[in-house]
Amino acid sequence: MKWIASAAFGMEGMTGRDLKHLGMQNVRVMDAGGAEFEGGFEDAFRASLWLRTCDRILLVMDRFEARSYEELFQGVKAIPWETLLPEDAAFPIRAKCVKSQLMSPSDVQKIAKRAMVERLKVAYGADWFDETGVTFQVDVSIRNDEVTVSVDASGEPLSKRGYRTWNGEAPLRETLAAALILQSGWHPWQPLYDPCCGTGTLLIEAAFIALDRAPGLTRRFAMELWPSVDYEKLIVLREEAEARFEKGRQRALNIAGSDINPEAIELAQRHLRQAGLQGRIALSVKDMRDVTLTGEPGVIVANPPYGERLDNLRAAHAVARQLGALQRRCPGWKLCAFSADAGFEREYGRRATRRRRYYNGRIECEYRIFE
């Protein structure tokens, strides 16, 4: 079976590399949208459990060209849906159109639905479907007239790990936070500090990496309910991941953070508890101007307010200056800052050693690494 591990702009390569580490077959990083791989249901489940920067795992049902609604209809109808969907399946359709002849997602959705119903009518000898059973979210994506029809194996996006039920002011998506940690060059045996940690996302994702904790360990995935999946085999994979975390959590951890806002720290404490990391990450209420880091140098990661959504630009610039001063106070520490503020380096007082572009929602941001 062919699968897509969908990933946001800038994270496709990391997702492809992680798929290779997991031992997946025929991994190919796509130009946009993520990476492909081949494997069975268990491989897809393992990818869902372990991929840190991937948004969704999609089962590719078919790929074909379509420049007319008739071609789309025939292409969708030719897919053997009955091999995956039971008669009572619910099958909502999501559609996306980019640079193609067919550019109306709502029409694409309607035609694809009609084609699926036609196919299933013949397969099940029925003329009406109540759709009261398990949900199979179908994805029809058309790019440059090439149609990819897939079924979402994840359900909720994989960024929802299950530990964040209370949101702070501008929390980072968990997949993006994991990407920032992976990109920072931090080694899990080094100290890590976030001086404006908010609800703790960067710290928790770093701890998951250090303790060999699968990001999807405590959540469920849509594919677990699919009748053609051998659920017993998935249980074994989840138990393996639990055992790895049991072992990993014995490791020493040198991760800490602070924030000026006491409410954010309270939320971060809750998230730590929900992530099974209570007592493993030191948190305190502190203005970053009062942060001093002693001992073995490590990595400072920060997602400061950047003027677009929080505070105003002047305040964001002040925080950039404070981060520059923090790095000067902590010789040997690397500092990595994720911000949309174009004037960040000027205020910080140095040019970044490396930069990478990402999107936080729709906001274009830069990840700047100051060695």
Binding site for ligand SAM (CB under 6 A): 168, 170-172, 195-196, 198-199, 201-202, 259-261, 264, 287-288, 303-305, 310, 319, 322
Provide the minimum distance between the beta carbon of 301 and ligand SAM in the complex, in angstroms, as a whole number. Answer: 9
Pick between residue 150 and residue 183 the one whose CB is nearest to ligand SAM. 183
The Cα-based distances of 312 to 208, 316, 348 in angstroms read: 33, 6, 17
Provide the minimum distance between the beta carbon of 8 and ligand SAM in the complex, in angstroms, as a whole number. Answer: 16
Task: Report the C-alpha gap between 178 and 189 in whole angstroms.
Answer: 17
Burial 109-134 (b: 16+ CB within 10 A, else e): bebbbebbbebbeeeeeeeebeeebb
Cα of first residue to Cα of last residue in the chain, in angstroms, is 43
Pick between residue 153 and residue 197 the one whose CB is nearest to ligand SAM. 197
Pick between residue 148 and residue 199 the one whose CB is nearest to ligand SAM. 199
Pick between residue 100 and residue 199 the one whose CB is nearest to ligand SAM. 199
Q: What is the DSSP string of 93-112?
A: EEEEEESSS---HHHHHHHH
Provide the minimum distance between the beta carbon of 312 and ligand SAM in the complex, in angstroms, as a whole number. Answer: 12
Pick between residue 92 and residue 262 the one whose CB is nearest to ligand SAM. 262
Provide the minimum distance between the beta carbon of 315 and ligand SAM in the complex, in angstroms, as a whole number. Answer: 7
Provide the minimum distance between the beta carbon of 311 and ligand SAM in the complex, in angstroms, as a whole number. Answer: 7
Pick between residue 100 and residue 175 the one whose CB is nearest to ligand SAM. 175
CB-based closest residue to ligand SAM: 198
The Cα-based distances of 35 to 2, 11, 24, 290, 357 in angstroms read: 11, 10, 11, 43, 19
| Of 47, 58, 51, residue with least CA distance to 215 | 51
**What are the respective helix, strand and coil percentages of the chain, to the nearest 5?**
35, 20, 40
Side-by-side strand order, sheet with 2-6: 25-29, 34-38, 2-6, 56-65, 146-152, 138-143, 93-98
Pick between residue 46 and residue 271 the one whose CB is nearest to ligand SAM. 271
The conformation of residue 205, written as its DSSP 8-state character, comes to H
Provide the minimum distance between the beta carbon of 306 and ligand SAM in the complex, in angstroms, as a whole number. Answer: 7
Provide the minimum distance between the beta carbon of 172 and ligand SAM in the complex, in angstroms, as a whole number. Answer: 4
Report the sign of the C-alpha dihedral through residues 75, 27, 241, 230, in that order.
positive
Provide the minimum distance between the beta carbon of 11 and ligand SAM in the complex, in angstroms, as a whole number. Answer: 17
- C-beta separation of 223 from 45 below 8 A: yes
Pick between residue 247 and residue 328 the one whose CB is nearest to ligand SAM. 328
